[in-house]
Structures are given as C-alpha cells and as structure tokens.
C-alpha cells in the first residue's frame, strides 16, 4: 500500500493549485533523483482527482483505498521491477488501454515508474501514446534524471522537479520522539504562524504578561487538531530546554517544563487542550 505521508509537500501544493484551477496536465514528468517522494505524489494526485471525501485526498474513502492498494480499474502502474530496462512490451498494454473509456471516473491514469529505463522503442511507443489525446488520460512519468527521457517525450509533458530526499529534519525527529506519528507530522501543514504565536506565549508567560491569557486562547483556536496541540506542547518544551542550555530563564524555564509534564498527564485524563494551556497561564499570572 502506498503511504501518502511520503509526498513532497511543495509539489502537492503546485498540483493542488492546478486542480483548483482545472489545469491538470495530461502528461507529467516527475524528476526525482531518489524516486522516494515522486511515486507517493503521483498516487496523491490520482487520489485527489478521485476522492469522494470532504478533505481531498483523504486516503480513506473507498476510491482512495482502492487506488492506494493498487485495486482501482482506472489506474495503471508500469514499473521495471528488477529488470534493467522498461521494454516496449510493457508500454504496449497502455496503448490498448488508451482506446478504452474510464471504468469509473472521468479519466484514466498511467504511471510509468522507472521511466529512465525506457528503451528507445519503448520511448517511441510512449511518444505515440502522448501524441494521441483521444482519451481522457493522465500519464505520469517518473524518472531520476530528465536527460534519460527523449526530448520529444519530454516536450509533451509538464516537468516537475523533486528535491533530493532530505534527511529527516531534526524537527521531524524530535516530533517523532515526542509521540507524533509520521501521518500526524505530514498532516500538520504550515505551522509557521502557530510557531510564532507559541514563541510570543513563551515570552509573555516568562514576563508574567497578562496578554498570555489572550494568546493561549488564540493558540487553542489555531491548534484545533490533536497533532497541532501536541506540537504546541513540544514547541514550548523545546524553547524552555534551549533557554536552560543557555543558562537563561533559570527559574521560569524549569517550572514551565514541570507544568508541561503535568499537562501531559492531564491530557491523558481527557482534560481539554484549552484547559491545559489555561492551567499553565494561570500558574504564572
Ligand atoms: Zn478519498
């Protein structure tokens, strides 16, 4: 089963934007040096275009599930498996499929993984496929290097470059040890605004500023989901630890850490996130 938490967040933003503006291309070339995120992103796109859920793609509805499990009749994956090349014999079935109508959705999807391994004849067969816009098909080629794809094929695709897979950032590592799972981390989205508010909250708490009450309320609104709530506690603890390492806030920071640990226990006893934050705020005011 494909795991959508491996998608490239930056590229999904681009594709989501295209989706919103009804500008999904009929052929993409995903250039991914490591091949790690492009395939997940290809499936993400197909799920997006077929999802029946409210938050597309939810990876959860019947369509998404079948796509991710490789059981959807409109989705075809061609891959080299362990072969050294992708031959014309592997591309030919796509040509046959091209003549057919989508079984369920409004279009069919061809993923050609390992497109760098296409033989010259396979490249040409693919070119024919891309030249015949008869059927509603989205073809996604995944290659590790764009120079391995025939220029004539390349020019018929929209090229999307994926960054080499980064080492997991230290923040991700921290969040994992803090008890968030990979899905929760992937689902956090852009937290820069929330992070800023948490930094302000730390300062206001440290200065016993009454504005911290308002700030806590604001943060509780921003962090409606449990993964974001965990992030708030993680981030507060992180700031406190950094201060302690620098011998700063030597009375305040340890006390905050103590309170965060108490909040951890309160949370397991179903005390609401907002009440936990308030408990911290009131302890300093
Ligand atoms: Zn879905």
Give residue-wise pLDDT tens across range 11-66: 898 999 999 999 999 999 999 887 668 999 999 999 999 999 998 999 999 999 99
Ligand 1 centroid distance, CA of 101 (Å): 22
Ligand 1 center to 127 CA (angstroms): 31
* 133/206 same-domain check: no
Q: Are residues 42 and 153 in the same domain?
A: yes
User: How many angstroms is it from 67 CA to the middle of ligand 1?
Assistant: 9
Closest alpha carbon to 128 in 101, 153, 155: 153
Same-domain check for residues 98 and 9? yes
- Structural domain containing residue 184: 170-284
Same domain flag for 152 and 274:
no
What is the 190 CA–ligand 1 centroid distance (Å)?
Answer: 22
Tell me what pLDDT residue 247 has: 83
Do residue 26 and residue 125 come from a single domain?
yes
Same domain, 129 and 33: yes
Quickly count: other Cβ atoms within 10 Å of residue 36's Cβ: 15
- Same domain? For 33 and 118 the reply is yes
Ranges under pLDDT 70 in the chain: 35-36, 133-135, 164-170
Which is nearest to 139 in space by CA: 95, 169, 104, 179?
95
What is the CA(161)–ligand 1 centre distance, in A? 26
pLDDT for position 66: 96
Q: How many domains does the chain have?
A: 2
The verdict on 79 and 109 lying in the same domain is yes
Which pLDDT score is estimated for 100? 83
Q: How far is the centre of ligand 1, averaged over its atoms, from the C-alpha of 194 (Å)?
A: 28
- Are 231 and 180 in contact, with CB atoms under 8 Å apart? yes
pLDDT score recorded for residue 167 = 53
């Amino acid at each position: 089963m494909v795991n959508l938490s491996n998608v490239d967040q930056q590229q999904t933003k681009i594709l989501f934007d295209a989706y919103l503006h009804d500008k999904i291309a009929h052929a993409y070339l995903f250039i991914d040096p490591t091949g790690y995120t492009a395939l997940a992103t290809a499936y993400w796109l197909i799920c997006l275009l077929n999802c029946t859920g409210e938050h597309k793609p939810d990876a959860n509805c019947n369509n998404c599930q079948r796509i991710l499990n490789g059981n959807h009749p409109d989705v075809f994956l061609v891959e080299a498996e362990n072969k050294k090349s992708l031959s014309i014999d592997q591309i030919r079935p796509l040509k046959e499929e091209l003549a057919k109508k989508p079984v369920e959705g409004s279009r069919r999807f061809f993923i050609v993984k390992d497109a760098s391994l296409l033989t010259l004849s396979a490249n040409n067969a693919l070119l024919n496929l891309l030249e015949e816009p008869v059927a509603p098909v989205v073809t996604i080629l995944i290659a590790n290097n764009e120079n391995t794809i025939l220029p004539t094929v390349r020019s018929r695709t929209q090229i999307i470059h994926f960054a080499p897979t980064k080492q997991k950032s230290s923040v991700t590592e921290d969040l994992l040890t803090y008890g968030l799972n990979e899905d929760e981390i992937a689902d956090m989205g852009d937290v820069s605004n929330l992070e800023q508010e948490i930094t302000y909250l730390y300062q206001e708490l440290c200065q016993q500023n009454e504005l911290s009450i308002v700030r806590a309320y604001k943060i509780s609104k921003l962090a409606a989901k449990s993964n974001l709530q965990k992030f708030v506690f993680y981030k507060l603890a992180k700031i406190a630890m950094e201060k302690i390492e620098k011998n700063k806030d030597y009375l305040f920071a340890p006390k905050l850490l103590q309170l965060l640990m108490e909040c951890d226990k309160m949370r397991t006893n179903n005390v609401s996130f907002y009440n936990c934050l308030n408990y911290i705020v009131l302890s300093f005011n």
